[in-house]
Amino acid sequence: MKVGVGVSEIKARLLLLLSSVLFVVILLLLAELFVRLFMPEVKLYGTTRSLIRDPAFGKTYGWAPDATGVCFSTPVQIDHRGFRDLGGPAAADTSLLLIGDSVLFGVGVEAESTFAGMLQHARPRIRVVNSGVVGYSLEDYHEVVDYLLPRDSTIRSAVVCYSLNDFEQNLSRGQTTPPFWNLRGFFRENSKLYVWLKATLFDRSNDFFQHDFNFYAEPSPDLPHILQLLDSLVGKFTAKGIDCKVVLLPYEYQLRKNDPKLLLPQQILSGNLRERNISFVDAYPIFASMNRPSKEFFMFGDHMHLSPQGHRVVFEMIVEDIFVAKD
């Protein structure tokens, strides 16, 4: 008799447990649906794998020509040369080459709302080449430039869009990913609720900035090599008689805090560029002078990727200070 009662209790407890789990799952699904429907600013971090080819330029990967897919919840089209399609002319006598990473590419932003797309619209008779790719660093920039310069005689001007994490080597190939990161990546790519919770509960913008800030502040023994890589990248354009300018892009946390001590990376970079007579623009003062909340310029919960408003600021800066096309 006691055995019968014990079995009944176990069944009741299991039923209660399953009901509780089901209730929690339903709540999470409803919360996920709510975020997807009413918070369009929250973006997933995934990129359609078929968009990538490896290798593409020298030793580095890039976008697959004529590919379509989704990057950070936004549909993207790649042109026949392997660059983001900006709707520019199929053939042109003059090209502006933009060098950069995912910030330049404009993850999470429609092509026409990126600063590259705005430049193409403003200068319809030239070809604006957006060579930005997710995960690129200075070493990847060299591979792209080494590939393009001998093959494209139309390049007349170049802009290197330097993000403060461009010192990081690309780790996307030949690395074993821990199981935890696979699980983390799954949620980043598939759950907007996860992205929203993480951005709301934690200051990831600060975490990313502090990590990258330490590279310049300690400083890292690799810093001289990074500065040399930036110098030699510009030198490749100079050797071809191509005008080149460097744009130093800020982090959200720097704009939020407005603390001069946090600008050490830009001070080191600008000092090096000035010493070598390399033309550059530090975008931080331009953003800061607008006296608007820093988060307006960046994607939701993001430390460096620009929102459409942020792209507009960079576009206006490039049009006014950097590139004057001979239409």
Total residues belonging to the chain: 327
Single-letter amino acid code for the residue at 234: V
pLDDT at 206 over 70: yes
Task: Say how many C-beta atoms besides its own lie within 10 A of residue 29's C-beta.
Answer: 11
Task: Determine the pLDDT at residue 4.
Answer: 53
For range 174-196, the mean pLDDT: 75
| d(C-alpha 25, C-alpha 13), whole Å | 18
| d(C-alpha 125, C-alpha 108), whole Å | 27
| d(C-alpha 244, C-alpha 175), whole Å | 34
For range 225-236, the mean pLDDT: 97
pLDDT at 179 over 90: no
Q: pLDDT digit string (tens) for 140-175?
A: 999 999 999 999 999 999 999 999 999 987 544 444
pLDDT at 116 over 90: yes
For range 178-192, the mean pLDDT: 79
Residue 53 parent element (H or E) = strand 52-57
Q: pLDDT digit string (tens) for 251-266?
A: 999 999 999 999 999 9
Residue 298 β-bridge partners? 306
Question: How high does pLDDT run on average in the chain?
Answer: 92
Higher-scoring residue by pLDDT: 12, 270: 270
Helices in 39-137 by DSSP H: which ranges?
102-105, 115-122
Q: Classify residue 209 by its DSSP letter.
A: H
* Cα-Cα end-to-end distance for the chain: 94
The lowest-confidence range among 66-80, 141-155, 200-214, 308-322 is 308-322
pLDDT at 181 over 90: no
Higher-scoring residue by pLDDT: 21, 5: 21
| d(C-alpha 128, C-alpha 121), whole Å | 9
161 Cβ contact partners less than 8 Å away, ≥ 6 residues apart: 98, 99, 100, 101, 103, 104, 132, 247, 249, 314
Task: Determine the pLDDT at residue 171.
Answer: 40
Question: Residue 1's pLDDT band (boundaries 50, 70, 90)?
Answer: very low
Task: Determine the pLDDT at residue 172.
Answer: 44
What percentage of the chain reaches a pLDDT higher than 90?
A: 86
pLDDT at 91 over 60: yes
∠318-79-162 over CA atoms, to 5°? 35
Residue matched to tokens 């990913």: 177
Q: What torsion, rounded to 10 degrees, do the Cα atoms 163, 165, 169, 174 define?
A: -100
pLDDT at 327 over 90: no
